[in-house]
Amino acid sequence: MPDGMVVTDQAAREGTGGRPERAAGWNVPGYTALKALGSGGFGDVVLARHDASGTLTAIKFLRRELLSDARFAEMFRAEAAVLAAMDDPNVVRLYEYLESPSGA
């Protein structure tokens, strides 16, 4: 089952970093992980390519333990919904939000 928040972002095109090591165990069907962009308290971000279109994207993987916190998970889902509803050239575009038992 897929897990991840898929966004397009100029930072994805300009990202630095090495291999997408953390993402190796996490898979979002339809995307190929290319390299790690960063890691923080909420999870990891990888540069990926959308297989069908070739579009470069950034995928943010939420840490599993955060998703198991019902209050945090509700806040994260609400943030994703707000981001998905935005249409502004200065704000990253959210393509899709996915969850599974292994993360979001």
For 57, half-sphere exposure in the C-beta direction (CA atoms, 13 angstrom radius) is 24
**pLDDT at site 54:** 95
> What is the model's pTM?
0.68
Q: What is the pLDDT of residues 23-47, one digit of tens each?
A: 446 678 888 999 999 998 888 899 9
- Distance separating alpha carbons of residues 2 and 59, to the nearest angstrom: 12
Per-residue pLDDT of 38-96, as tens digits, reads: 998 888 899 999 999 999 999 888 888 888 889 998 998 998 899 889 999 988 888 88
- pLDDT bin (cut points 50, 70, 90) of residue 100 is confident
Mean pLDDT of 1-18: 42
Task: Dig out the tokens for 8 from the structure.
Answer: 């397009």
Tokens at residue 28, please? Answer: 């979002």
Judge whether 2 and 29 are in contact, CB under 8 Å. yes
Task: Give the other-Cβ count within 10 Å of 31's Cβ.
Answer: 21
Averaged pLDDT, 3-11: 45
